[in-house]
Amino acid sequence: MALVRLLVLSVLHVSLIGCQHAQSSHQVSSPHHPEGEQSPLGVDNLSFPWSRLRLPRYIIPLHYRLLLHPNLTGLSFNGSVQIQIDVQNNTNWVVLHSKSLQIFSATILDQNLTHLSDQVLPVLHNPSHEQIGIFSPRVLSSGQKYSLYIEFGAELSEGFYGFYKSTYRTSTGGIRTLASTHFEPTSARMAFPCFDEPTFKANFSVRIRRSPEYISLSNMPVVKTVEVSAGLLEDQFAPSVKMSTYLVAFVICDFKSVTATTSSGVQVSIYAAPEKWRQTHYALEVAVKMLDFYEEYFNIRYPLPKQDLIAIPDFQSGAMENWGLTTYRETSLLFDPLTSSVSDKLWVTMVIGHELAHQWFGNMVTMDWWNDIWLNEGFARYMEYISVEATYPDLKVEEYLLYTCFAAIGHDSLNSSRPISSPADNPTQIKEMFDTVSYDKGACVLHMLRHFLTDEVFQSGIVRYLRKFSYRNARNQDLWDSLPYSTNRVYSFIFCLLMLCFRFLSCIFCSFRHSLFSIHFIMMPIWEHLDLTAMMNTWTLQKGIPLITVTRKGSRLILRQDRFLRTVLPSDPLWPTLFLWHIPLTYKTDASSTIHRHLMTTHTDSIHIGEEVTWVKVNADMTGYYVVHYEDGGWDGMAKLLRENHTMCAYVFVAGHLPINKALDLIGYLRLETHTVPLLQGLGYLESFYQMIEKRNEHDMYILRFFRAVIDQQTWSDSGSVSERRLRSEVLSLACHLNDPPCVEQARHNFKEWLQSNGTLNLPTDVAETVYSVGAQDDHGWASLLHTYNVSLSEAQKNKILYALTCSRDTNKLQRLLELGLEGKVIRLQDLSGLIQMVARNPRGHHLAWNFVKKNWDLLVQKFQLGSSCIRNILITTTHQFSSLEDLAEVQLFFESIKEHASRLRATQLVLDNLQKNVRWIQRNLETLRSWLTEQMK
């Protein structure tokens, strides 16, 4: 430990920034200093007082009074913050967070706002921990409250974190600038000195100075605007509720808004750049509906008087849940009926549902530390589906939940996965927690738990959890403690009602007494003996997904659970055996329409089903987060059943250790399928095979033959239900990608008409991307699309065009797109990671994209930050389809060359695991796949 301390001290840059900063007439003024101000205290004998990444617990912030004055011309800001603190141990030091801020001065005042010292206090910096320490020569006494006053300044950030600049282009070509914030998870410290950890909740009173041509927004409404001087106004916002620093937000812009009011009186406003104002109306409708729904579902009033939703032109993630001022990427909030598809509409609806769910899950009740971020994100992801299903049932959002769980399974079946609740100490590790595991697996596990406990028990339990921990922080255990309480109360209440019935009606219904008691004793043991903590710890504290192997032996089902890994087989020495889950199984047989339930808590188990049963489907309702494998001909029976009557079973998820020819035989029934979900899942399954062989120039038309009937049924329109429209978009896109002559001919015809109309013709939104993609194959079409991309005011249309541009078979054009993305003018920097992914999906572009990442790695890390979702997605998507030993060696060599970064990223191991999985898949399945396809094409 002494060596560690010595090492820390040796790298610290201990500095004192004096108070020589010359204040302008607009600079924030400090509290009055006593007469005879002396020079700063010496720091020669001071060293930084704190060596840990987490702040000390003995100083608690209570209230921030924050004043900011951004300069949108000079792209900088000055400010001051007065933090009321509660001291719980005697100390001479206040340690808090600050990153990239210049500290002009720091003072400490007592409760009467009298300075504790007549000298400027020393400010020591620990850049590696993003902390500053302020030394008080007078001891701060335990049990007393003080005010810490700091003046500071900085440049507006160039990236997407902290207090950063954004710009947008008007239709006349002018460039307008705005300033916005994004603090989650650890970037509030880039905007003002603060205790930047989620447990340090406090109230915030914000003031913002601005020019009259701008407006300012923050978490709370403006209560007063005063004129500070000629041409300078100050907006004063109402004090906030108690919240974490990462939820503080402010925006200075010249946007327009639309406004409506919820049934409980909350004012909802949607803000966007003036020329995109007409694209805000759908979001307003959704936000009002969602707030009304959540207030009823959670039975807790939304605690703020307003909710603003604003579309920020430069935004790295999809959206951010700042309390009362949610910020969005434009594609996540704006909806243009002329260019936005039904999938775009669903996306906007789901993102708004997600962020507004956070106003309760995350904002009102916040995880204790970032290791449990899933308590925020998993719940918000799951509430997307619950809220959209309730408010917009026509969007069929339940279908998307299956895709979410399929994505989680794909990630979780690699050894590089992690537990839902994982250690996260430094900012890079914390950023990496915002991944598929926290969001998608978290949502799927909650879905399984909800169906296990029933809707009513689940809802009443989370309401209790929200009420108990409002304006506080919570951990996993707090949630599990809330749910059984509700469960026991529900069933105790039922039992009490039954007993009352027996007491008053026994003489009439005595003959039924035994049967009613039987009902009670059937129900009660499930809940009385359920250890929900033990059960859910198996899902949140260990990584992976269970594989249930099912064997039929006479009247019984024999069950075995193992961890499912796609990189090994049960016969391999590396097959894991030490994993055990408490699994709420469901199963269905041909003997009845009942879905049976069984809790499996051991490695092996058995269930009596009866001799008369012909077939059994485990995970019958598709709510379980586990993979099923049938041994001893079980899959053959399933395939026969589906061919004979494909409506007898719900969706079948084909994964695991089924030989590829058996898997392809099983999904052969899709020729008869009419439901969107299995069709799209099967299509994706076949397409993944095609992508493997496509790179080997083994272009096979089997997929076109397989889906011929489905393709021929499609129209080039926006007619039909949401499910039909989504299927049309996917099927026609694949058909044209595979050069299906009728598809390509129709797309070329539509593209020609669109070009000749000079923008007066609007393509059907669901097929526009496919039409653009075909049109982009010649030079004139590609250039025309790039021009339209540059001038379009619809982000939905621009997304479709960008995808189409990356479909070019000309590698020079693909390279140009990557360079435009890195430059950040024509293609915004926020879209670069998505652009790289699109190029990597193109068979002509996957090595091009990878080489681009290798060449520009340092620039990419500088622009997006190590550990961010953008860096993770760039690494994963550019290598996702690599499947040769040469590819594997090349990736390993690159990771070795960036060892300092690679060693800090969980994503690098995920990349290598996925690559090894692909290599083994090719080795095991390529020849079988070739033979199977050859046989099918006869």
Active site residue ranges? 355
Q: Three-state secondary structure along 29-56?
A: CCCCCCCCCECCCCCCCCCCCCCCCCCC
Report which of 920, 908, 847 is spatially closest to residue 883, judged by C-alpha positions. Answer: 920
Place of tokens 């293609």: 827
DSSP state of 807: T
Instruction: Strand 203-210: give its sheet, edge to edge.
Output: 102-109, 145-155, 76-87, 59-71, 203-210, 232-237, 222-229
Residues in the chain: 938
Q: Which residues contact 10 (CB under 8 A, 6 or more apart)?
A: none
Q: Is 528 annotated as a binding residue?
A: no
Report the C-alpha dihedral over residues 49, 54, 55, 61, rounded to 10 degrees: 170
Q: Which residues contact 693 (CB under 8 A, 6 or more apart)?
A: 700, 926, 929, 930
Is the separation of the CB atoms in 534 and 548 below 8 Å? no
Q: What are phi and psi of 76, to 5 degrees?
A: -145, 175
State the CB neighbour count (10 A cutoff) for residue 215. 20
Q: Which tokens is 507 given?
A: 């003489």
Percent helix / strand / coil, the chain, rounded to 5: 45, 20, 35
833 vs 818: CA distance, rounded Å: 10
For the CA atoms of the chain, what is the radius of gyration? 30
Coil vs helix vs strand at 828 = coil
State the CB neighbour count (10 A cutoff) for residue 938. 4
Q: Which tokens is 66 given?
A: 């924050």
447 vs 823: CA distance, rounded Å: 42
List the Cα angle 563/567/570 in 5-degree steps: 55
Is the separation of the CB atoms in 902 and 405 below 8 Å? no
Q: What are phi and psi of 624, to 5 degrees?
A: -85, 140
List beta partners, residue 119.
Answer: 38
333 vs 567: CA distance, rounded Å: 39
List the Cα angle 735/741/743 in 5-degree steps: 45
575 vs 347: CA distance, rounded Å: 39
Q: Is 377 annotated as a binding residue?
A: yes
Beta strand pairing status for 604-608 and 596-600? unpaired
97 vs 318: CA distance, rounded Å: 26
Report which of 438, 352, 358 is spatially closest to residue 397, judged by C-alpha positions. Answer: 352
Q: Which tokens is 774 given?
A: 């075909």
DSSP state of 351: H
Q: DSSP for 173-236?
A: S-EEEEEEEE-TTTTGGGTS-B--STT--BEEEEEEEE-TT-EEEESS-EEEEEEEETTEEEEE
Coil vs helix vs strand at 358 = helix
Peptide bond into 185 cis (omega under 30): yes
Q: Is 358 annotated as a binding residue?
A: yes
Coil vs helix vs strand at 83 = strand
502 vs 238: CA distance, rounded Å: 57
Is the separation of the CB atoms in 79 and 170 below 8 Å? no
CA distances from 504 to 170, 291, 494, 501, 670 (A): 76, 44, 16, 5, 57
Residues making up the binding site for Zn(2+): 354, 358, 377
Known binding residues: 354, 358, 377
